[in-house]
Amino acid sequence: MKIESSIVIREVGLRDGLQSIDRSMPTAHKLEWLRSAHAAGVREIEVGSFVPARLLPQLADTVELVGVARSLPGLTTSVLVPNLKGAQAALDSGADAMLLPLSASQAHSLANLRKSPDEVVGEIGRIRAARDAAGSRCLLEVGISTAFGCTIQGPVEPAEVLRLVEAVLDAGADRVGLADTVGYADPLQVTRLFERARALAGERLDCGHFHDTRGLGMANVMAAWQTGVRRFDACLGGIGGCPHAPGASGNVATEDLAYLFASMGVPTGLDLAALLALRAALARWLDGVPLHGSIARAGLPRTLRLAA
Amino acid sequence: MKIESSIVIREVGLRDGLQSIDRSMPTAHKLEWLRSAHAAGVREIEVGSFVPARLLPQLADTVELVGVARSLPGLTTSVLVPNLKGAQAALDSGADAMLLPLSASQAHSLANLRKSPDEVVGEIGRIRAARDAAGSRCLLEVGISTAFGCTIQGPVEPAEVLRLVEAVLDAGADRVGLADTVGYADPLQVTRLFERARALAGERLDCGHFHDTRGLGMANVMAAWQTGVRRFDACLGGIGGCPHAPGASGNVATEDLAYLFASMGVPTGLDLAALLALRAALARWLDGVPLHGSIARAGLPRTLRLAA
């Protein structure tokens, strides 16, 4: 395990977290979150999504957030785009990166996007062409969701995930990540799938997205890290839970992930105390919404050597 | 990773869990817990502690529990003993194994046992002599507590932990385990210390005891398992938390550990549905005491192939 190389934690709470919460967070709070996360050392933030506001009114202020995020020094501003139309909005906004989700589960893909995985691959080609035609340097990233199983379909074959990894790269994606969207992955499965995906994609396999729904979030992050992954998604306070499992945890918590790596001496650039202060503010802004994660409840150990 | 070899989860909730809860669980509930855990496939249970009843009235019925546990087929009945006097009671009770804790933190050892670690090593020699003189086959196990850091002392040097591993084996312990008593360990630290301890102790290094206080319980279990550990302590419902960190998780939850290994296809012999039913009973018996763990809240994934 090479511990000298730093890792990147991408904060996705402003998009992935907030979209699963019914109420809309006021833009002023989002901007405070954005600025405070940046001040705490976060250098990549998914600030919103270019989906129609009637579908996700919680994220209707994405253009404004991109504008402010672009003004923060050293920050990579990332947005989610569901299709070519969203990608064009992302290119217009000046975001640094756009993430297109592609579900490896046929059933999940049809239910969520009304497209088959291969139809999404076709859209990636069109997005890449539009990006290049615009002369934009906006990174095109694809997140392969339900890569470890699906609540609708059940098992998802690793061979199908790997086929899609190749297909999205061939279609023009700059980088690709694997996501355990529903919290089904186990560490051994993570090791095997990330190793095989790396053999195909090399350094273009660039992100692990894990949920802590069944308590294995940190163990799965460790497994992916041991295969060479150096970039992970996380949500402050572990928000972004599945509405089908009330009370269950959601995405791995940013502050817990930052603590995991700090405890091992792996540089993240993050200020843990500042992250915990921001989490306390989030708890006030989302009063009544359950937050998750362990380190905020237990406190930092007195043995921790802070390696920022 | 050799996944074919099975692992043993030792249930320590009846001792480690209940001793940190002020109220006493009625013996009838403890016996139902014991019998139901056995019926769910648990084959090693720490049923109590031979400490003076005035110190831990919650565990005053240990003799009775050992008697019933011995009648359950295939069950290894384990008890905690703090000293020679406790060990003599354990030998009299007919328990299969006795666990003596030894704190690698000088400060923790003096605060908890009023003995230095080396004084405890001396006691191990006397316990071994008493065991042999009695012609007993009761296993003598030593748990090195605070092996990864201490809330009182702070850091605990790995060299001191390893010195004590050798010393307790030289003094006559049959096997030894390493415990993250306060939830300070990180996976890299676990890997390194267990690897070094195995080089000294070989197969006699036989147990990992982890807390989930800071969310790293499962990741630490994985790290120890990858070094060859095949036996882990756990508490149903994750009880056994530290009174100094209210709201924080305690020991790793038995049902979460069983799920971790089941999800990877590693045999544990445990019936997950039966464990979850028992946890629901425990929640009733301990009404008002917070339970921890993830799988009970989220439910089993539909992709799980149950490998008992």
Rounded to the nearest integer, the mean pLDDT of chain A is 95
With a CB-CB cutoff of 8 Å, which residues 13-52 of chain A face chain B?
A: none
Q: Using CB atoms, which residue from A151, A154, A216 is nearest to B218?
A: A216
Measured between CB atoms, does A222 come within 8 Å of chain B? yes
| Interface contact flag, B218 A218, Cβ < 8 Å | yes
Residue B298: which of A183, A297, A299 has the nearest Cβ? A183
The CATH architecture assigned to A8-298 reads Alpha-Beta Barrel (3.20)
Contacts of B245 in chain A (CB under 8 A): 297-299
Classify burial at B223, counting beta carbons within 10 Å of its beta carbon; exposed 0-12, middle 13-18, buried 19 or more: buried
Cβ(A238)–Cβ(A256) below 8 Å? yes
In angstroms, rounded to a whole number, what is the distance separating the alpha carbons of residues A200 and B66? Answer: 56
A157 at the B interface (CB within 8 A)? no
Measured between beta carbons, the chain A residues lying within 8 angstroms of B222 are 187, 219, 222-223
Return the biggest CA–CA distance within chain B. Answer: 54
- Selection from B114, B119, B96, B116 nearest residue B106 by Cα: B116
Q: How many CA atoms lie within 13 A of A172 on its CB side?
A: 18
Of B215, B297, B303, the CB nearest to A218: B215
Residue of B nearest to A224 (CA): B219
**Single-letter code of the amino acid located at B77:** T
Return d(Cα A277, Cα A293) in angstroms, integer. 14
> Cβ separation of B183 and A223 shorter than 8 Å?
no
Whether residue A50 contacts residue A86, with contact meaning beta carbons closer than 8 Å, is answered with: yes
Can you give the pLDDT of all 308 residues of chain B as single tens digits?
556 689 999 999 999 999 999 899 999 999 999 999 999 999 999 999 999 999 999 999 999 999 999 999 999 999 999 999 999 999 999 999 999 999 999 999 999 889 999 999 999 999 999 999 999 999 999 999 999 999 999 999 999 999 999 999 999 999 999 999 999 999 999 999 999 999 999 999 999 999 999 999 999 999 999 999 999 999 999 999 766 566 678 999 999 999 999 999 999 999 999 999 999 999 999 999 999 999 999 999 988 875 44
Instruction: At A177, list the tokens.
Output: 């990540």
| Residue range B226-240, pLDDT digits in tens | 999 999 999 999 999
Residues linked to residue B207 through DSSP beta bridges, in sequence order: B177
Complex ipTM, two decimals? 0.95
**Domain residue extents for chain B:** 8-298
Token reading at B7? 């692992």
- Rounded Cα gap, residues B169 and B175, in angstroms: 7
A149 at B interface, C-beta within 8 A: yes
Question: Is B138 an annotated catalytic residue?
Answer: no
The reply to whether B303 touches chain A by the CB within 8 Å rule is yes
Q: For residue range A254-295, list pLDDT tens digits in order.
A: 999 999 999 999 999 999 999 999 999 999 999 999 999 999
Q: Is residue A222 within 8 Å of residue B219, measured between CB atoms?
A: yes
Going from the C-alpha of B60 to that of each of A272, B14, B50, B53, B77, the distances in angstroms are 44, 12, 8, 5, 16
Which chain A residues are closer than 8 Å to B303 by Cβ? 149, 154-155, 184
N-to-C CA span, chain A: 19
- Would an 8 Å CB–CB cutoff place B214 in contact with chain A? yes
On chain B, the residues whose CB falls within 8 A of the CB of A256 are 214-215
* Residues within 8 A of B (CB atoms), A 66-105 only: none
